[in-house]
């Protein structure tokens, strides 16, 4: 059983345009095409798409994701390369999380400050933004 690109878009939250772009760029080498060229998505394809989204959304360039997809298509001879790629991406994500925690602390401070200004428990500070 196959899904259409519209169904795949709905399931993944990725626009039809973007799914077509990914396919044209070789990021979805496993997607089958019908005789008339329509893209056909299997249930198992969604796991691959989820990995693609993960890598993209954590800042990996599409060119590097394409390399990963190529390695996947080459089989087990690229397992060490793929492991190294994910280990590197884990470091990137850990850095992003650290940055986000810093930003969260700033936002929480500003919320506390502004609430205090509103209810009168916080004195007027130098920073008014």
pLDDT tens string 43-82:
999 999 999 999 999 999 999 999 999 999 999 999 999 9
Tell me which DSSP letter residue 36 carries: T
Where does the pLDDT of residue 122 fall: very low under 50, low under 70, confident under 90, or very high at 90 and above? Answer: confident
38 shares a domain with 85: no
Token pair listed for 115: 């609430």
**Whole-model pTM?**
0.79
86 shares a domain with 64: no
Summarised one tens digit per residue, pLDDT across range 79-100 is 999 999 999 999 999 999 999 9
58 shares a domain with 23: yes
70 shares a domain with 17: yes
90 shares a domain with 69: no
CA–CA separation, 65 and 53 (whole Å):
10
51 shares a domain with 20: yes
48 shares a domain with 101: no
């Amino acid at each position: 059983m196959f899904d259409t690109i519209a169904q795949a878009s709905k399931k993944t939250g990725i626009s039809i345009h973007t799914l077509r772009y990914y396919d044209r760029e070789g990021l979805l080498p496993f997607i089958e095409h019908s005789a008339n060229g329509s893209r056909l998505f299997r249930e198992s394809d969604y796991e691959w798409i989820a990995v693609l989204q993960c890598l993209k959304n954590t800042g990996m360039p599409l060119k590097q994701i394409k390399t990963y997809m190529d390695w996947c298509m080459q089989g087990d001879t690229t397992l060490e390369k793929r492991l190294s790629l994910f280990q590197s991406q884990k470091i990137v994500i850990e850095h992003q999380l650290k940055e986000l925690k810093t930003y969260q602390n700033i936002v929480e401070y500003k919320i506390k400050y502004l609430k205090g200004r509103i209810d009168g428990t916080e004195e007027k500070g130098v920073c008014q933004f």
